[in-house]
Structure 1
Amino acid sequence: MSTPDSTNDAHAPEGPGEGLNADEILDIVDEQDRVIGQSPRGEAYRLGLRHRCAFILARDGEGRIFVHRRTAHKLVFPSLYDMFVGGVVGTGESYDTAALREAEEELGVSGLPQPTPLFKFLYEADGQGWWSYVYEVRCDLPVEPQVAEVAWHGFLTEAELERRLGEWEWTPDGLAAYERLKLFREDPAG
């Protein structure tokens, strides 16, 4: 597999429900994931307010993992690679609802099964933090990722993904989730 070409990057502005909606209201949570207030997404990012996110590892019918490069227009980690689809959990939204919504939006499909919840962890780095619920889903449908969200995509075997970890620049929260996922698979009881 060759290195993905950046020339197919989308330049369309993102609208409601897509990755650049800085005015979307998010629940702000404490270190125990209890809601303590609300804030627009852009302000939450700018001020480093802790919020909630859903991370979904999507596999095709052959068990390969959906990998993508984020567009340059994303508010967080633009143009970096990720092995998860997902995004923020909206105000009053459950992690499960957000996981299905985000997976269908980013993969460009409808009718996915409900993603399977695996574990939750608090990601914190560089003055930012969010509770991250990790899910897995099988997508047997042809994907048509949103051009406003995904600049490049492909399905990689786990071995191909492991080889790319040292070659491509990945989202740090995605890497943290992936490392925790590997540990979870070794010992699901924790």
Structure 2
Amino acid sequence: MTDAATGPADPREEILSVVDEHDEVVGEAPRGEVYARGLRHRCVFVQARDAEGRVFVHRRTAQKLVFPSLYDMFVGGVVGAGESYDDAALREAREELGVSGLPRPTPLFKFLYEDGAGHSWWSFLYEVRCEPPVHPQAEEVAWHAFLTDEELERRLGEWEWVPDGLAAHQRLLAFRAG
């Protein structure tokens, strides 16, 4: 069942583009099949900072299909079939942060994430300025806070983080340094 305003009632039914090693679309499949078969797809990461420059950090809910209950320093998610990276970044940021009128996130760079266990996805990293208050989506976010860069770096060794978010974070640090 699909709701015109929110998409499939079951996230596993959402249709994703399947892409090759060059990020060219080679087919489409439901998200559940994409995950089960380890098919390469597209994803967006959006780093949201408040007016003081602090980073939005959250813990994912236990019901998430991928990396449940882990911490993340990005909002984002999969890019739907026929959807652009830019549109997905705006949609995901608005949904997860619960902020209407959010400006369009600024694209920074794209990279291929591979975890060594057969999972890979093309990932586009963005940044956006977010003015609190935020009202995170309860189905996505179990806990949230805005942390300084220093506090985030301290927490990296203390909390269990989503592996693709850690990879994106490392790439972002290198991007900003170089």
Tell me what 1:112 maps to. 102
What is the CA-CA distance between 1:127 and the residue it aligns to? Answer: 1.3
**Which stretch has the larger CA shift, 17-26 or 95-104?**
17-26
Structure 1 runs (4+) greater than 4 angstroms displaced: 15-20
Conserved 8 A contact 1:105-1:145: yes
Asked if 1:138 is matched to 2:138, the reply is no
Question: In the alignment, does 2:114 pair up with 1:121?
Answer: no
Aligned to 2:177: 186
Q: Please give the root-mean-square deviation of Cα atoms over the aligned residues, in Å.
A: 1.5
Counterpart among 24, 32, 46 of residue 56 in structure 1: 46
Distance 1:19 1:172 in 2: 27
2:34 is the counterpart of 1:34: no
Aligned partners of 2:10, 2:35: CA distance in 1, in Å?
A: 12
Q: Kindly provide the amino acid, as one letter, of the partner of residue 183 in structure 1.
A: A
Specify the alignment match of 2:36 in structure 1: 46
**1:82 and 2:101 matched:** no
Q: What code does the residue aligned with 1:137 have? A: V
After superposition, give the CA deviation of every residue in 1:67-115 in whole Å (9 maximum; x if it has no partner): 0000000000000000000000000000000000000000001111110
Q: Is the 8 A contact 1:123 1:132 kept in 2?
A: yes
* Letter of the 1:116 counterpart: T
Gaps in structure 1 of 5+ consecutive residues: 1-14
- Change in CA separation of 1:153 and 1:20 when aligned onto 2, cut-off 3 Å: farther
User: In the alignment, does 2:167 pair up with 1:176?
Assistant: yes
Opposite residue 178 of structure 1, the aligned amino acid is: H
Which residue of structure 2 lines up, in the alignment, with residue 12 of structure 1?
none
Distance in 1 between the 2:110 and 2:42 partners? 10
How far is 1:141 from its partner? Answer: 3.7
Distance apart, 1:18 and its partner CA: 8.6
Q: Distance in 2 between matches of 1:19 and 1:120?
A: 29
Q: Which residue of 1 aligns with 2:157?
A: 166
- For the residue of structure 1 that corresponds to 2:161, the secondary structure is coil
TM-score normalised by the chain length of structure 1: 0.88
TM-score, with normalisation over the residues of structure 2? 0.94
Look up the SS of the partner of 1:32 in the other structure. coil
Give aligned pairs, total.
173
